């Protein structure tokens, strides 16, 4: 039974990391087709302020930090009860409640931390601006952040979601893998037909693309699931999605932006 617990904790640590690169690779293949892109390849090459090799190195560093924190967290919160026994007692309703709680906690933490990093000039200039070097976002750049931002926004946010939802390490494998796929999709720079994330979530690749543009940096802070906090606190930027003559789609804001 002890081996089973170690296995669950190991999978809970590495599964989201592996999922990140698998799904990023899939989106890279779709990105070779102009008809799905929100920006042209030329824009991606000319507007982004950082090389793809630097992005890969930055993501790997953040994933290393996340893995270390996950191992510590699972070790500290471990118990003598096996996850298998715990999960057998949980109904689908209980698991759904845990997942929804984790989604709300993660969304709330990331909205306010993300927004503060934009409003605090020191934090934006020295930390969060690193992520915005990708003006034209792409899938494997989803976790390209300053290491401090990765720790504050993603790692601590994930730890809070895990602890406050009460989910087990085994349940966390599925939740954090799902959250990782969603984050990759949000940054993929594509609008794919039949994408379930676009059907069930208003917080999607087009929504987040607005935030990466100069006109939208003070809007659409919400990530990765809902748009509730943006709407409640007046930072929601509506947009239209229009076909581009040269192929693909273009996201356009539907309200004037004040240059404060």
- pLDDT, tens only, 231-256: 999 999 999 999 998 899 999 998 76
Q: Is residue 140 part of a domain?
A: yes
Q: Is residue 109 part of a domain?
A: yes
Q: Is residue 209 part of a domain?
A: yes
Q: What is the tens place of the pLDDT at every residue in 54-73? A: 999 999 999 998 888 888 88
Q: Is residue 2 part of a domain?
A: no
pLDDT value of residue 165: 96
Instruction: Map residue 24 onto helix, strand or coil.
Output: helix
Q: Is residue 12 part of a domain?
A: no
Q: Is residue 159 part of a domain?
A: yes
Cα 254 to Cα 66: distance, rounded to the nearest angstrom: 37
How much is the pTM? 0.89
Q: Is residue 259 part of a domain?
A: no
**What's the domain count of the chain?**
1
What sign does the CA torsion over 79, 84, 89, 92 have? positive
Q: What is the tens place of the pLDDT at every residue in 2-59? A: 444 557 777 778 889 999 999 999 999 998 899 999 999 999 999 999 999 999 999 9
- Domain of 129 in residue numbering reads as 18-76+93-253
Dihedral angle computed from the Cα positions of residues 205, 207, 212 and 217, in that order, rounded to the nearest 10 degrees: -160
What sign does the CA torsion over 22, 26, 29, 30 have? negative
Q: Is residue 129 part of a domain?
A: yes
Cα 237 to Cα 207: distance, rounded to the nearest angstrom: 8
Instruction: Retrieve residue 150's tokens.
Output: 């990765």
């Amino acid at each position: 039974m002890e081996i089973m617990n170690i296995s669950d904790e190991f999978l809970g640590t590495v599964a989201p990391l592996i999922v990140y690169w698998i799904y990023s690779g899939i989106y890279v293949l779709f990105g070779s087709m102009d008809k799905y892109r929100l920006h042209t390849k030329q824009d991606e090459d000319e507007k982004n302020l950082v090389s793809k090799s630097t992005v890969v190195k930055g993501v790997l560093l953040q994933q290393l930090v996340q893995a270390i924190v996950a191992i510590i967290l699972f070790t500290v919160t471990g118990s003598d009860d096996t996850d298998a026994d715990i999960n057998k007692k949980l109904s689908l309703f209980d698991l759904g409640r845990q997942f929804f709680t984790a989604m709300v906690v993660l969304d709330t933490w990331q909205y306010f931390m993300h927004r503060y990093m934009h409003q605090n000039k020191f934090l934006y200039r020295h930390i969060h601006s690193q992520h915005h070097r990708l003006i034209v976002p792409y899938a494997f750049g989803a976790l390209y952040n300053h290491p401090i931002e990765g720790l504050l926004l993603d790692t601590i946010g994930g730890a809070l979601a895990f602890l406050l939802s009460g989910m087990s390490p085994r349940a966390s494998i599925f939740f954090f893998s799902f959250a990782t796929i969603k984050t990759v999709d949000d940054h993929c720079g594509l609008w794919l037909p039949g994408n379930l994330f676009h059907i069930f979530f208003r917080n999607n690749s087009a929504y987040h693309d607005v935030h990466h543009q100069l006109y939208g940096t003070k809007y659409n802070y919400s990530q990765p699931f809902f748009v509730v906090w943006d709407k409640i606190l007046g930072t929601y930027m509506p947009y239209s999605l229009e076909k581009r003559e040269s192929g693909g789609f273009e996201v356009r804001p539907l309200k004037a932006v004040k240059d404060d």
